[in-house]
Structure 1
Amino acid sequence: MENLVFQKGIEVEVMFDEEGFKGAWFAATIVKPPYKKKTKDNKRKVDQSVNYEVEVECRDLMSDAKGKKKLRETIDLIQIRPIPPREKTRSFELNEEVDAYFNDGWWEGVVTEVLEKKRYSVYFRCSREQMDFHESDLRLHREWVRGSWVPPLPIEDEKARSSLEGKCSSDVADEKFSNGMLVEVSSDEDGFQGAWFGATIVEAAGENKYLIEYKNLKTEDNKEFLREEIDSLHIRPCPPETLVIDRFNLLDEVDALYNDGWWVGVISKVLGRSKYLVYFRDTDEELQFDHKKLRPHQDWINGQWITASKV
């Protein structure tokens, strides 16, 4: 059980569901290790679901106006992870996914411009803002998946590392979406964040933009499939099919097919008859799904699909 890693006194990073904190990870220390608590949550429409909760004390967030009392919170286990490895200061590339440190936390973003003097412009999808950062305030974005970091930790062999980085950089630079190609696209609009929708590339529509046609979303009159111009930061190839023959496990990260799109969530409870409860961080909802409506979550990073099985 992964919660055995999170014992009292361990330094971790935590995320919060409150508005204004989504998309960020904050340094904290475990005050009370994970414990089970049966709750009745009317909002999620779950009568007796078992939640793993952890009490933490934030390192930089304060609970008083004077800034002397550190914030303490009780959060779900799925909102906590170990401290990511702190690598040597490095340069970053266009379209690379990074975490940027500001407002006492690490916020997920994408490099949109490489500037002079080791500075970068970073776009944040959650807030739809773009800000400039020095490379010392950036780190490579990683996900904590089944007890390992994705992408994996740096390769020790310098030649192997150079070869891999060169290949990934080339893949990103050469990535083109051709007419008729099946892809998935995301959106920053309210109500659509955190989901990927199937689409087809119709044609290029300018620098780093494409006209796409959705596979399932239709126009208001419901007569034609919806078409939109999308920038390349919101387009990725369709992920390879990964079958889970047996079943998903508690805390597995999955994509759930819902409202014509794939929404990233976490298995919060394994039910009988191939059914699961899935918790969605972006909306703070918990819904029930059949096995056939779920797929293992995969990330498109540096021109490659990364899954837990590859770590």
Structure 2
Amino acid sequence: MTVLTEFLPESKYFSLTPLADGVWAALSIPGTGSWSNAGIIDIGDQTIIFDAFATPTAADDLRIAAEKLTGRQATIVLNSHYHLDHVNGDQVFKDVPIISTKLTREQIAIQQPKFIEIFKDNAGLLDQTKVEIEQEKNPEKRQELEDLLGEYSMIIKDTERFKLTLPTITFEDEITLNGARISANFITYGGGHTSSDSFLYLPKEQIIFLADLMHIGYHADIRQGNVDHWLDILKKIKNLKIKKVVSGHGTIGTAKVLDDMIDYLYAIKQISIDWIRSGGTIENVDQIDVPEKYTSYGAPSIFYYNIKSLLEKKK
């Protein structure tokens, strides 16, 4: 039996939102070391963790919450892609199967040790971020830096616990996890946000956990990805029956947010084209005005990183 809604476990790293019987979104609290959204799914005889946060400490709470919600320990962990903020908590679940695509596993093996070393050799990182906060006058950018300072601080605090933890099971296109109550499809349509992105789809419940293929209220980072492939993936996902969408960063939405995400990607593509046509350069992209539609989005610096990335790829 799953826990009643009014008895949801609490954590300073994330908040839990029930989506259906046995399905919860674990939404990151910015600046606490979770740094991305996750999910807990009780399929009836097994408990799935979708993504595992950026720090072991936040992942500890995720594991405890899953056990309290489902009455059993986590039995499967799914990695959507290789980025540290989604997989660095894997080490808390090293005693259970961890599933990803073959390419994501390869990228974790290459990239995670680099991320770990960056934070272990962190001389000046926190001090520099504090200086940037003091100098920043824009309230949205200042908030972004304050959140980053919190994430960095928690990651650095946890560095002694860091140990490369690789997925133990890989798949090519799709793997179905059939439980006594819920069937969950772990699917990849290729790479968009990164070289390989996977999502979790619950067809009966019409719920989808899209990880960083979806950002709601945040600028989506395209630097390690391919915008055209990302657009193709989202258009393909639109063919699925969907009522609720859990983003990798931001909130929970309906199927409409797929169109919003598609619009955002088209927008940054067009802005980069228009900028070059008007004589703009990579060096002065900070002169571009963020479209009014996106001025309230979190992580505003990502907008400019995105334009620079698109321009560099056109060279």
TM range (shorter): under 0.3
Highest RCO, 1 vs 2 (Cα 8 Å, sep ≥ 6) = 2
TM-score (normalised: structure 2): 0.26
> Would you tell me which structure has more strand in proportion to its own residues?
1
Query: Which has the greater radius of gyration?
Result: 1
> Would you tell me which structure has more helix in proportion to its own residues?
2
